Amino acid sequence: MAKDDKSSGEVASAEAGRDFIRDIVKADLDAGRVEQVVTRFPPEPNGYLHIGHAKSICLNFGIAEEFGGQCHLRFDDTNPTKEEQEYIDAIEADVRWLGFDWGQHLYHASDYFERLYNWAEDLIRSGKAYVDDQSQDEIRHNRGTLTEPGKNSPFRERSVEENLDLFRRMRAGEFPNGARVLRAKIDMASGNINLRDPVLYRILDAEHPRTGTTWKIYPSYDFAHGQSDAIEGITHSICTLEFEDHRPLYDWCLENLNVPSRPHQYEFARLNLTYTVLSKRVLTRLVQDGHVTGWDDPRMPTLAGLRRRGVPPAALRDFVKRIGVAKANSTVDAGMFEFSVREALNKTSLRRMAVLRPLKVIIENYPEGEGEELEAINHPDDAAAGLRKIKFTRELFIEQEDFMEHPEKKFFRMSPGREVRLRYAYFITCKEVKKNAAGEVIELRCSYDPATKGGNAPDGRKVKATIHWVSAAHSLPAEVRIYNPLFSKPDPSGGEGFANDLNPNSLEVLSGARLEPALAEAQVGVPVQFERQGYFCRDRESTPERPVFIRTIGLRDTFAKDVAKEKAKG
Ligand code: ATP
Ligand code: MG
């Protein structure tokens, strides 16, 4: 695990199933400070969920499960300009897919708009909020900097009556977007910029997916979040570190309002992954600018993309458990995630044979027009998965890369005159190499030893390689899509520069692949292992005539090696 320099050397205690947040929850329960733990997962419906959100989901729902509490799904839908029903639906589906259930507890910040509004009036009445007519730029300018205090707004001392009147007219839609805001009256000289009279309400004439055009003003995240937590009786409001500086404001709101409960906010380190961008803004751009085919493009780190790719939810949960929860930001090696994926798939995936880049093999001493059925095992560690029959014929396909006319030193697979084993079938020997006009190998003429049926020689002679194959006549033509990381840099830009860091080879399409017939029954999204190749699943873009399989993941982590090789080349 690579750590950035902010790391304090703190180690996440994932092995023990414990972390500092679980310790806090446990201590609060033990001391009787809370009776039942209530957490929430609060996505803003302005994009699809990604693997970083999975960390937060597993944490919030996991804690509720482990400590006998409950976890709410709450849409933090306070910005109608960016939020859409499509995202709301996708988020619900993704949380369920990951294996969590909010039961009755589905909420929306927008359910609380009326109460939040009334609380804002309460603040005005107690002299703790005012309507500011400064423009956005003026407000930003007068906020000061980290080293300089801000300047009081000229509208800061308005009377309660005037503030109430203006705020009500803001609500009534009397003013255009951006004309006025409601601000908390806290301290323009505070060392914490979040406390320099933060904006609580802004005018936004936009249609909201749930409340339609009822509202002309919308609360800020800071004014909505803590109060929503209080309304729902959240005990532990868990969020990522960038909200640490907002905590004093979270507390200020709760302390200055007559709220029904008193939640507390705790921050943990967000997930960062090598070769991956987890900024919703960039993910949205990837989709909108057509760098990918959609939110569920199998190269996307979204839960929808990972699901389509064939990643089982158990692999995500396992990964999140392994990385643990810490208080210092760090970047996790994408290889760790892949490890969890391989672990899960190795256990569950049926084995099949498929040839991705076919090279024709003719077994010259095998009778023409004949064939036989051989037995193949479906899973090496699971006898209950049983056997299947595969067709052996005179014409076969093997993988192009399993043949070398002039073999390198460590190449033990097929080459002229050398005997190899065809998995589950026979020993064969290459007798002759046929080439096209361009000098490319297009066909191998081979012989087989009928005494080696099943893949063993009665005289005990050995071969150095076993290769996979399919029958030419009985295999299915298919398209296979190989996905590589979407970004070619381990630390791609999460800002405007993201497009420069895209991997130009993130998708490789193999249009002439051949599959063993059993793969006709493969289900969309359920990976099988293509022996010696990796895990693949049927994609929803398949047609009955032409299956499309996508690679979930290779058998080994070859990408890191490829990158190292590229680097060495310069
Ligand atoms: P934005 O970039 O729009 O702020 P976001 O990814 O923070 O997006 P939210 O919808 O606000 O999106 O996130 C919902 C919850 O998921 C929040 O509590 C947030 O802290 C958490 N979360 C978001 N990204 C990560 C991440 N990379 N790792 C862990 N938790 C995350
Ligand atoms: Mg956020």
- Note the pLDDT tens digit of each residue in 187-234: 999 999 999 999 999 999 999 999 999 999 999 999 999 999 999 999
Note the pLDDT of residue 409. Answer: 93
Å from CA of 41 to ligand 2 middle: 11
565 pLDDT tier (thresholds 50, 70, 90) = low
Average pLDDT rounded to a whole number, residues 458-463: 95
Q: What pLDDT does residue 556 have?
A: 84
- Residues written for the chain: 570
| Catalytic residue ranges | 44, 270, 280
pLDDT band at 3 (very low <50, low <70, confident <90, very high): very low
Contacts with 356 (C-beta within 8 Å, 6 or more apart), sequence order:
399, 480, 482, 510, 513, 530, 533
Residue nearest to atom 9 of ligand 1 (CA): 43
* CATH code 2.40.240.10 region(s) in the chain: 354-468
Query: At residue 1, does pLDDT exceed 50?
Result: no
Residue whose C-alpha is closest to residue 303's, from 288, 291, 319, 326: 319
Atom index in ligand 1 nearest the CA of residue 44 equals 10
- Rounded mean pLDDT, 77-97: 95
Query: Looking at the predicted structure, is the pLDDT value of residue 16 above 80?
Result: no
The ligand 1 atom at the shortest distance from the C-alpha of residue 243 is 20
Task: Please give the Cα distance from 80 to 106 (Å, whole number).
Answer: 19
CATH class of 14-109+223-339: alpha beta
Per-residue pLDDT tens over the stretch 139-156:
999 999 999 999 999 999
Q: Is the pLDDT reported for residue 83 higher than 90?
A: no
Among residues 88, 97, 94, the alpha carbon closest in space to that of 45 is found at 88
Ligand 1 site residues, Cβ closer than 6 angstroms: 42-44, 46, 52-53, 55-56, 239-240, 270-271, 278-280
Average pLDDT value over all residues in the chain: 94
Q: What is the DSSP letter of 13?
A: -
Q: Quick one: average pLDDT of 75-83?
A: 93
Top mutation candidate among 72, 76, 270 for ligand 1, by most atoms within 8 Å of CB? 270
CB-based contact 116:223 (threshold 8 Å) = yes
Q: What's the average model confidence in pLDDT over 16-44?
A: 94
> Which residue has the CA at smallest separation from atom 29 of ligand 1?
270
Tell me which residue has tokens 């589905």: 106
pLDDT-derived band at 569, boundaries 50, 70, 90 = low
354-468: in CATH 2.40.240.10: yes
380 Cα to the center of ligand 2, angstroms? 45
Contacts of 204 (CB under 8 A, 6+ apart): 79, 80, 81, 177, 216, 217, 218
Residue nearest to atom 25 of ligand 1 (CA): 52
Cβ neighbours for 403, distance < 8 A, ≥ 6 positions apart: 359, 413, 414, 415, 430, 441, 444
Position 465 confidence tier, pLDDT thresholds 50, 70, 90: very high
CA distances, 338 to each of 15, 124, 242, 258, 559 (Å): 19, 53, 27, 48, 11
Count H helices and E strands in the chain, helices first. Answer: 13, 25
Q: What is the pTM of this model?
A: 0.92
Q: What is the pLDDT of residue 151?
A: 97
- What is the distance between the alpha carbons of residues 261 and 369, in angstroms, rounded to a whole number? 80
Ligand 1 centre from 484 Cα, in Å?
25
The CATH class for the domain spanning 113-220 reads alpha beta
pLDDT-derived band of residue 56, with 50, 70 and 90 as boundaries? Answer: very high
Name the segment(s) of the chain with CATH classification 3.40.50.620. 14-109+223-339
pLDDT of 316 strictly over 60: yes
Start-end of CATH 3.90.800.10 domains in the chain: 113-220
- Gap from CA of 514 to ligand 2 centroid (Å): 45
Dihedral angle over CA of 509, 514, 517, 519, nearest 10: -20
Q: What is the rounded radius of gyration, in angstroms, for the C-alpha atoms of the chain?
A: 30
Q: What is the pLDDT at residue 509?
A: 98
Ligand 2 centroid – CA 392 distance (Å): 57
Confidence (pLDDT) at 21: 97
Residue 569, number of CB atoms within 10 A of its CB = 6
Q: Which of 40, 41, 55, 56 most suits a substitution to test ligand 1, by most atoms within 8 Å of the C-beta? A: 56
- What are the pLDDT digits (tens) for 529-546? 999 999 999 999 999 889
Q: Which atom of ligand 1 is found nearest the CA of 272? A: 27
